[in-house]
Structure 1
Amino acid sequence: MIILGIETTSARGSVALVKDGAVIAEYTLAQSLRYSRHIIPAIHKILTDTGYDLTYVDRIAAGIGPGSFTGIRVGMAIVKGLITQSAIKPVGVSSLLNIAFNSSASTATACVYAQNDEFFMQKFVASEAGEYRTQNECSIVSVEKLFKECEGGVLCSPDLERLKVSNEQSEIMKHVYPTGSTAALIAGSLSEEERCSKQFMPLYIRRGEAEFKGPKVFKL
């Protein structure tokens, strides 16, 4: 199975190609949220350099958030365009799950900046097989609660510079970005039943809606 992975939810995007559980190639995009000008050429390049084209691709995995509002929309819109009039299956991958996998920690509290000194946060625990299972729903929390929630584990995020922490707190932190290769590997580990049960829609969480209505999902 060949899977194209696209990750655009953080300041460092990437595209990757995975075949039968092995990463063939991965290209990191410029640290900018203007992905529309970078990602299409990157996809073309990775396919050309590896000797493939979209007719070989079985699935396209993309980060669905939480993260950059602009990055999520751009990435998913590109996927929607790529799969038009084709049999390619899209798979949405949580950005926080992606971060947890990349942390390699046995217990990982993954978080990304949510504006106003708050963070999107979700806690994961790794099984002996290396699979990460969530311990709670994604939520928006203060910095104080973030550190409380990550007790006994590692706090991993692409946005650690947003945190003003003590030396003691910094010892449990790990700078981790979500990546296209991990999105593709996660998508490849899903059974057909698991894949079909997941809707390919972006996840947008905003403070006001999260408080009063819970997480809200919007279709493209």
Structure 2
Amino acid sequence: MRTLKNISSKSDQTAFDKKVLSVVQHLHPYTKHRIYIAESTGIIPKNMYSSTGIIDDCIIQLYESGYNIDADKQHIKLKLFKLVDEHLNALFKKEMFHKYSVSTDDFLKKELARLNEDFTVDADMDLILNTELTDISYQQNKDNKIYLYEDKETSFKKALDVSSLKAEESPKAVGRFYNWLPVNVSNIVDLYVFGNLEFEEIAKIKNISLKRVETIFEKVKVAFKNQLE
């Protein structure tokens, strides 16, 4: 396996660079959306972070760590999605830790606790999905509206089996969805809807089984629909 650290051919590096650039376009919708959601739910300050800056940092990290020059575009795409996902989680944790130290906001405390506990995506996910996802009492005052572009709103509603949700009701429902769902769970939904990734790809990015991703998605759909009734 050849890596970027031992490439001697300029053409090899140029070919690799082109593959990296070709997958960047797939990262922006997901990254922009996660930043928007974090801003809208009060996790990070508005207008402080950009998708371009975060993606650039992750590309630098990819190059600095060395990489298989023969990797195909799909492999590179999943690697960059993983780096972006990890970068965003670390950023959200840092911002919430700061706010937690100066705020009494229960939402921030609970979200920070979730980000610090691996059980949100491991073998104890069933506990989270079966208990906390049905307990939204602390988010009931979080009625901020979240607006999605029409095509993404359609994709969001289709993915969660709520296509019958009226257009005028969507912003409030979407806002409640993201205030209700733990960050480490909502990003699985967003990798599917806004990253246009398949469940198998999400499983690789999150280092969990395909069955686990399917279970998470199904339980989120059921719980969300129940909250809308």
Normalised by the length of structure 1, the TM-score is: 0.27
Higher strand share: 1
Larger Rg: 1 or 2?
Answer: 2
Normalised by the length of structure 2, the TM-score is: 0.27
